[in-house]
Amino acid sequence: MTAPLRLERPRPGVARVVLDRPELRNAFDDVLIARLTETFEALASDASVRAIVLAGEGKAFCAGADLSWMKRMVSCRLEENRRDAATLAEMFRRIDTCPKPVVGRIQGAALGGGAGLVAVCDVAVAAEDALLGTTEVRLGIVPGVISPFVVRKIGESHARRRFLTGERFSAGEALRAGLVHAVVPVAELDAEVDRVVDALLLGGPEAHAVSKELARRMGRLPLDEALEEATGIIATRRASAEGQEGMRAFLERRSPSWTARSAS
């Protein structure tokens, strides 16, 4: 039995979080949930990390919640069952709100909670063999804690179809729904993920954190409130040391310090 999670540092500025339970298609139980949550918590405050790749070892990205573990819940009191679901929700929330860009490397199955993990990635790159789906209804359960993240990502129309049919769908269909952002041949998956990471490393770390927050929140605020907030944010960012440095570097035709810090 391997450890359920590996944390790698493949190059300066980049952390690679690998779900490592390939014999169970990286299904997550309480141990893996705790490891993922604490790992993202640590990475969020690690200034040396500029981008995070979330990957799964073996044939599948992630087969969702470990059904043997979930089935055991039948013997728990409702309160305990609820606490458990809250722990799972916290794992997704940590990844979703992580101030660093998160890139999903998706191969094989990404089902149930596995599709939920895809939804909380900022950029999801899928191999042509990827098969996604919110299959919970076929097990008599529901895509509960992943629903806010999936609905925000693909919208109500796609979510109603996917949540109800429980069908598995191809990477191409996931691309059309906006669940993933690129589909490439299996052999090109790592190169495409690297290309996305290269692009991310050109961005300012504070600019990333604030831009992610903007993307997560702005579509949900009334326009007047959104503009009020956005004007305050851009005013602050323009005057910030990072903003000043980035604009000066552009005008002086040189690279800002954050690109040098993460250059390999």
Q: Which residues are catalytic?
A: 136
* Cβ burial 53-84 (10 Å sphere, 16+ → b, else e): bbbbbbebbbbbbbeebbeeeeeeeeeeeeeb
- Which positions from 133 through 162 interact with ligand COA, judged by CB under 6 A? 135-136
Q: Is residue 112 a contact residue for ligand COA (CB under 6 A)?
A: yes
Q: How far is CA 122 from CA 53, 56, 169, 178, 213, in A?
A: 10, 16, 20, 11, 11
User: Closer CB to ligand COA, residue 54 or residue 111?
Assistant: 111
User: Closer CB to ligand COA, residue 125 or residue 132?
Assistant: 132
Residue 107: CB minimum distance to ligand COA, A = 12
Residue 97: CB minimum distance to ligand COA, A = 23
Q: Is residue 60 a contact residue for ligand COA (CB under 6 A)?
A: yes
Q: Is residue 72 a contact residue for ligand COA (CB under 6 A)?
A: no
Q: Is residue 109 a contact residue for ligand COA (CB under 6 A)?
A: yes
Helices marked H in the chain: 30-44, 67-71, 78-96, 113-119, 147-165, 171-177, 189-200, 205-217, 223-239, 241-251, 257-262
User: Closer CB to ligand COA, residue 52 or residue 109?
Assistant: 109
Contact 117, 180 (CB under 8 A): no
Strands 182-184 and 123-127 turn out to be parallel
Q: Is residue 68 a contact residue for ligand COA (CB under 6 A)?
A: yes
User: Closer CB to ligand COA, residue 71 or residue 254?
Assistant: 71
Q: Is residue 59 a contact residue for ligand COA (CB under 6 A)?
A: yes
Q: How far is CA 140 from CA 67, 135, 137, 163, 166, in A?
A: 12, 9, 5, 12, 11
- Considering only 20, 57, 66, 122, the residue that binds ligand COA (CB under 6 A) is 66
Q: Is residue 33 a contact residue for ligand COA (CB under 6 A)?
A: no
Residues that bind ligand COA (CB under 6 A): 24-25, 27, 59-60, 63-68, 109, 111-113, 135-136
